C-alpha cells in the first residue's frame, strides 16, 4: 500500500498541480481526493473538489506557464500519512522555490493535504 500512496503523491503534483486545464485537473482531483477533502495552504483552508481546483488555479495564475512542480526526493509514507518534498521552477532548470506536502489518506485517497512553502 505504501508504494501506491507514494505514487498518488507524485501524481498529485503531476496531474493536479502541473495541470493547467481546470477541467482535466478536476477529473484528477475527483479520482485522487475524497469528496470532503481539505486543502490547507497558507491562508484559509478549502474543502471539496471544486474549491481545491479553484485554489490550484489561483496558485498557477501566479506562476509563469513554464514552471512545473517536481519531487525532489521520493515521497515517504508512514501508515496513512505521506510526505512529499517538492520544488517548482522552469522545466529542466533549478527550482526557484521549494516546499513540502503532508497528506492524510483515507481508503487510498487524499483526505487532507497540508502545503508548506519553504523558500
* Interval 39-51: pLDDT, tens: 999 889 999 999 9
**pLDDT, tens digit, 9 for 90 and up, residues 23-79:** 999 999 999 999 999 999 988 999 999 999 999 999 999 999 999 999 999 999 999
Cα distance between residue 79 and residue 27, in whole Å: 26
What CATH number should be reported for the domain holding residue 106?
Answer: 3.10.450.50
Report the pLDDT value the prediction gives residue 104, as an integer from 0 to 100: 98
More confident of the two residues 42 and 116: 116
- pLDDT of residue 85 exceeding 80: yes
- The count of structural domains within the chain is 1
Report the pLDDT value the prediction gives residue 95, as an integer from 0 to 100: 94
Q: Residue 113 sits in which domain range?
A: 2-117
Stated pTM of the model: 0.94
CA dihedral over 23, 107, 110, 17, signed as positive or negative: negative
The Cα angle at residue 114 between residues 112 and 118, in degrees rounded to 5: 165
Report the pLDDT value the prediction gives residue 2, as an integer from 0 to 100: 85
Q: What is the mean pLDDT of residues 77-101?
A: 96
**Which residue bears the cell 521520493?**
74
- pLDDT of residue 19 exceeding 80: yes
- pLDDT of residue 1 exceeding 90: no
Q: Classify 57 in phi/psi space as left (phi over 0), alpha (psi -120 to 50) or beta.
A: alpha
Amino acid at each position: 500500500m505504501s508504494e501506491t500512496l507514494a505514487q498518488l503523491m507524485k501524481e498529485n503534483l503531476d496531474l493536479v498541480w502541473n495541470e493547467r486545464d481546470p477541467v482535466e485537473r478536476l477529473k484528477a482531483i475527483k479520482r485522487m481526493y475524497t469528496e470532503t477533502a481539505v486543502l490547507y495552504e497558507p491562508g484559509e483552508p478549502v474543502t471539496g473538489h471544486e474549491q481545491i481546483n479553484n485554489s490550484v488555479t489561483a496558485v498557477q495564475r501566479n506562476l509563469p506557464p513554464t514552471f512545473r512542480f517536481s519531487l525532489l526526493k521520493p515521497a515517504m509514507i508512514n501508515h496513512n500519512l505521506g510526505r512529499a518534498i517538492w520544488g517548482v521552477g522552469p522545466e529542466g532548470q533549478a527550482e526557484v522555490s521549494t516546499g513540502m506536502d503532508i497528506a492524510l489518506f483515507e481508503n487510498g485517497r487524499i483526505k487532507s493535504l497540508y502545503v508548506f512553502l519553504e523558500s
